[in-house]
Amino acid sequence: MTSFAPPKLEVVPRDLSAYRQGNVGVDYVHRFESGKPGPHVVINALTHGNEICGMVAATHLLDSAVRPKIGTLTVSFSNVEAYETFDTDKPFDSRQIVHNMNRIWSPEWLDGHEDSPELRRIRTLRPVMLAADHILDIHSTSQDVTPFWVYPAFERNAVAALAIGRPHVHMVMPDGLGSGVPLIQHGRHGLPDSQCVAMVVECGQHFLQASADLATQVSLDFLAHFGLIDQPANPAPNIQQIRLELLRTCVIQTTEFKFVRPLIGFETFAKDELIATDGALEIRAPCDECTVMMPARAVIVGREGVYLTRPLS
């Protein structure tokens, strides 16, 4: 794998102890009811402990006393335990403690017998997320690439993302993530006949101020889209939307996984062009204009190596 320069640490964790005491019986979960009919929207941060932009957005909502005009707003911090392990010398290592919290939202994991800090936490968060009509799950990327949406290929998700307008790139999942069940596909949010919107926003590189700023802005955009707050003063720029369809999720099988050249994401390959090798396995582009998304920065067997996409018309 390629050796990357240490990331710029423009935004680092802050003490969240003041936010621990929630008001729904779950630590780090805060709910505000307007008393008027309307949707219940969850803004969720820190599914991964090193995705600092979500923390900035969530604390902004709480510190600024953002309250819903209609419906209900819930602000949650998910994997605070991993977040609290942050080390400036190893800033990527606080992503998780044992399990990737965004791959285990399935009955097999939730109702199974395995135990970990992540499993204990999502079992506690389960009723919080099931109560939501709409969920924005805030994430970031290891490399400094264009921000993008990730969502199941339900029209309701596409309508919301297109209407919000930022970020302008969409990764659409017609058959799920391919490496586990994320929060946005849990319960009724994963059903085709539901009206519940659930999306991930990947805001840019983990530790950049621009990523934190975008996470905050998209959180406000999301709430405004569903009528909980007024429209923000700075509307999204009029940029053509780009939609990419997820074709394949490549999970690393061996310690010999390597790309044919250094990749950070959004590079394109021609049909059958070699992208990576994983031991004896060759990973080739399944189509022309195959765009790679979120290539792994380190070889960890069992984690995603790269996502392969194609343009959607």
Stretch 161-185: mean pLDDT, rounded? Answer: 96
Confidence of residue 183 (pLDDT cuts 50, 70, 90): very high
Instruction: Give me the percent of the chain exceeding a pLDDT of 70.
Output: 99
Query: Kind of pairing, strands 281-284 and 274-278?
Result: antiparallel
Tell me if the domain spanning 17-225 has CATH number 3.40.50.920: no
Distance, CA of 83 to chain centre: 15
Stretch 228-248: mean pLDDT, rounded? Answer: 93
Helix (H) or strand (E) holding 75: strand 72-77
Average predicted confidence (pLDDT) for the chain: 96
Quick one: tokens of 261?
A: 């050249």
Asked if residue 235 has pLDDT above 90, the reply is no
Instruction: Give me the percent of the chain exceeding a pLDDT of 90.
Output: 94
Stretch 289-313: mean pLDDT, rounded? Answer: 95
Q: 147: cis peptide before it, omega within 30°?
A: no
Confidence of residue 130 (pLDDT cuts 50, 70, 90): very high
Query: Across-strand partners of 75?
Result: 30, 43
Whether residue 85 contacts residue 98, with contact meaning beta carbons closer than 8 Å, is answered with no
Distance in angstroms (rounded) separating the CA atoms of residues 222 and 78: 19
Side by side, which strands form the sheet with 281-284? 258-259, 274-278, 281-284
Give residue for tokens 């794998």: 1
Q: Is 16 exposed, middle or buried (0-12, 13-18, 19+ CB in 10 A)?
A: middle
Residues of the chain with CATH 3.40.630.10: 17-225
Asked if residue 237 has pLDDT above 90, the reply is no
Confidence of residue 5 (pLDDT cuts 50, 70, 90): confident
| pLDDT on residue 107 | 96
Residues of the chain with CATH 2.40.50.630: 244-311
74-115 pLDDT, tens digit each: 999 999 999 999 999 999 999 999 999 999 999 999 999 999
190-205 pLDDT, tens digit each: 999 999 999 999 999 9
As assigned by CATH, the class of the 244-311 domain is: mainly beta
Quick one: tokens of 124?
A: 């506690």
pTM, two decimals, is: 0.96
| pLDDT on residue 44 | 98
Confidence of residue 2 (pLDDT cuts 50, 70, 90): low
